[in-house]
Structure 1
Amino acid sequence: MDFIAIDFETANSLRTSVCSIGIVQVKNGKIKEEVHTLINPLSEFHYYNTKIHGITEDMVMSAPTFEEFWPDFKEFVENQTIIAHNASFDISVLRASLNNFHESTPDFQYGCSYQIAKKVWPNLYNHKLSTVANYLGISLRHHDALEDARASAKITLQAMQKTRTNSVQELSHLHKLKVGTPNPTKKQGTRSIKSKTDASLQLLETEVNLPNMKHPFYGANIVFTGRMLSMTRMQAAQLAVNCGAICKGNVDSNTNVLVVGDNDLVKYVQGIKSTKMKKVEEMISHGLPIEIVGEQDFLRIVRYND
């Protein structure tokens, strides 16, 4: 029962904007060590993110950058098994942050306490960290990186006890869950195509070479809504892909940015909202760090050149 639970908080919608890290080391089924640090993301704080986790720019002024903290962090995760709640997000944050200063991703395996909870306690009405923690009697101050990492660790330990398993790998195998490994060279062609829009955007991604890893949209999942006045959605998606973004047709839990066409932005301000806008607002209210960007701001950002 050895693993490392982690959690990141971010300053804005970009995966490279880590502002807090929580690390919990589990040895022989017990929490051995805990680490919490603020991180200076060297980027602006978005109102929505600060509202969620309470961290401000002033609070991180003297904190280490991700690059400065990485040697200590690496000692915990290298060649270990990592657990996180919605692990795909945390692992993508780790990879993007390492890419940001051209550091290779270390070897490790990872599992997801969200997916584990869905299998072990399938009757819960949802499997958000706060819901599962409350059900299991785990105290939690949500969106504090250390508290979230600790809750993820305790959920995983209780799942092992309930299923009489002794490792993340054994627990995942029992419930036919995949134990992941970092793979930054994964080919885009291996992804399933869910719609014509996604298929077109997938092809666009293969045409782009070496995007600027410091660009604000690098690694971000972007969705468009509304009619754009300056260009078509496909042209806008190409600009985003050129910056290293991933464009999708529908909003989901991995979405970072919703771009609203100018024609609909006025309606949005007046309270007239598309289905995607309503869904994003609901997801933001539940703690997901998604940014809503107007067409002109989108154009300004894609022209960014570090």
Structure 2
Amino acid sequence: MSINFVAIDFETANAFRASACSVGMVKVINGEVVDTFYSLINPEDDFDSFNSHIHGITEDMVTTSPPYDLVIKEIEAFLENLPLVAHYAPFDMGVIRDSNDRYNIFDFEANYFDSYYLSRKYLNLLSYKLVDLANLINFDFEHHNALEDAKACAALILYLCQNNSFDNVADLLNHVNYTKMGEISGSKGSGFRIRKIKKTGNKSLVFKEIIESVSKNDIDESHFFYNKHVCFTGKLESFSRNEAALMLAEVGGIPEIGVTKKVNFLVMGEQDIRVVGDSLKSSKILKAEKLLASGQDIQLLGESDFLKMIW
């Protein structure tokens, strides 16, 4: 048996992915957990109360903890060239890429795959949140603790391998046509293959096709974004807008191409100063602020907040 990988999970101090405040890892060799790693990380940045409420880590807890540029060396040593896996990997791999960029780390390299996308291929469920998948496989853990989440992710991959009689990760991926792992090289990388969305110049038509492609029988009506209208602005780092729209539609949300009175949330990606000017506010953000000032119930979310809330 050659089921070998390292499951990883990060928690962040705020909406910026280069603000890791903890990391947990679980090493699996030949289908057995052989080692674990956990460290608090000093993000050298402010803590957002929203994030602290989720994971329980505060600024006082990390004042003597090592910063990311020291912890990444321990991560690299722990990996021993094994592939990484995370539950919704674009977030955790984004933490690595953005942090590598912030600290000028260019020599870190790793391959990775995604337990969320594999779960969608192998399991027919209403929810693919890590906590719900852990309940399915009878794995008890403390959600939003980085090591505990990594343990749950590792247990999920082992379950998928064992439940489908695979004795290596390559077969688990190849069976559902995931033939290429994602890659990280310093602050750069390429994604683990995900569902492709047909491109067209008509964004309204694309979003309509995305919504219609999702089975209404598979939607959890208790999800936070169910029946909520969501618009996106700026460059999203973890996924394209079409991919974000698909994620939203899969939980019953409604993607919108523009900010109107029916929009409940505006998700903000990175703003291009060449487009938005010195204010760093797109026309969508300005319109959302105007609607908010007039009493409209609309909220602005960062990309990281959107990820946390959708899973």
Q: Normalised by the shorter chain, which TM-score bucket?
A: 0.5 to 0.7
Amino acid at match of 1:139: D
Matched, 1:239 2:260: no
Distance 1:20 1:47 in 2: 16
Structure 2 residue aligned with 1:31 = 33
Structure 1 residue aligned with 2:145 = 144
Structure 2 residue aligned with 1:264 = 291
Distance 1:110 1:34 in 2: 18
- Runs of at least 4 residues off by over 6 Å: 220-224, 240-243, 247-250
Distance 1:194 1:62 in 2: 51
Q: 1:1-306 residue pairs with structure 2 within 5 A? A: 1-77=3-79, 79-122=81-124, 124-177=125-178, 178-182=180-184, 184=188, 225=259, 237-239=271-273, 261-267=288-294, 270=295, 272-274=296-298, 277=299, 287-288=308-309
Contact 2:91 2:238 in 1 (8 A): no
Distance 1:60 1:132 in 2: 30
Q: Describe the shift of the 1:49–1:182 C-alpha distance in structure 2 as closer, same or farther (beyond 3 A).
A: same
Contact 2:90 2:238 in 1 (8 A): no
Contact 2:10 2:24 in 1 (8 A): yes
Q: Describe the shift of the 1:264–1:21 C-alpha distance in structure 2 as closer, same or farther (beyond 3 A).
A: same
Amino acid at match of 1:145: A
Distance 2:166 2:293 in 1: 55
Q: Describe the shift of the 1:240–1:137 C-alpha distance in structure 2 as closer, same or farther (beyond 3 A).
A: farther
Amino acid at match of 1:142: H
Tell me the SS of whatever aligns to 1:181: strand
Contact 2:276 2:282 in 1 (8 A): no
Distance 2:160 2:149 in 1: 16
Structure-1-length-normalised TM-score: 0.68
Contact 1:15 1:220 in 2 (8 A): no
Q: Describe the shift of the 1:191–1:185 C-alpha distance in structure 2 as closer, same or farther (beyond 3 A).
A: farther
Contact 1:15 1:97 in 2 (8 A): yes
Segments of 5+ residues of structure 2 without an aligned counterpart are 205-234, 242-256, 262-269
Q: Show CA shifts across 1:213-269 (max 9, x none).
A: xxxx99688999579xxxxxxxx94328799xxx9999xxxxxxx8874312324xx
Distance 1:289 1:248 in 2: 24
Structure-2-length-normalised TM-score: 0.67
Distance 2:168 2:134 in 1: 20
Contact 2:110 2:183 in 1 (8 A): yes
Structure 2 residue aligned with 1:299 = none
Q: Tell me the CA shift for residue 99 of structure 1.
A: 1.2
Q: Tell me the CA shift for residue 88 of structure 1.
A: 1.4
Distance 1:289 1:63 in 2: 30
Q: Tell me the CA shift for residue 27 of structure 1.
A: 1.0
Contact 2:13 2:21 in 1 (8 A): yes
Distance 1:242 1:248 in 2: 5
- The alignment's C-alpha RMSD in Å is 3.9
How many residues in Structure 1 have an aligned counterpart in Structure 2? Answer: 244
Tell me the SS of whatever aligns to 1:164: coil
Segments of 5+ residues of structure 1 without an aligned counterpart are 199-216, 228-235, 251-257, 291-306
Contact 2:183 2:189 in 1 (8 A): no
Distance 2:189 2:159 in 1: 34
Q: Tell me the CA shift for residue 111 of structure 1.
A: 1.0
Q: Describe the shift of the 1:80–1:241 C-alpha distance in structure 2 as closer, same or farther (beyond 3 A).
A: farther
Contact 2:259 2:288 in 1 (8 A): yes
Q: Show CA shifts across 1:94-120 (max 9, x none).
A: 111111111125332211111111122
Structure 2 residue aligned with 1:293 = none
Distance 2:131 2:76 in 1: 28
Distance 2:56 2:275 in 1: 32
Q: Show CA shifts across 1:140-180 (max 9, x none).
A: 21100000000000000010001111222220111112421
Distance 1:135 1:185 in 2: 32
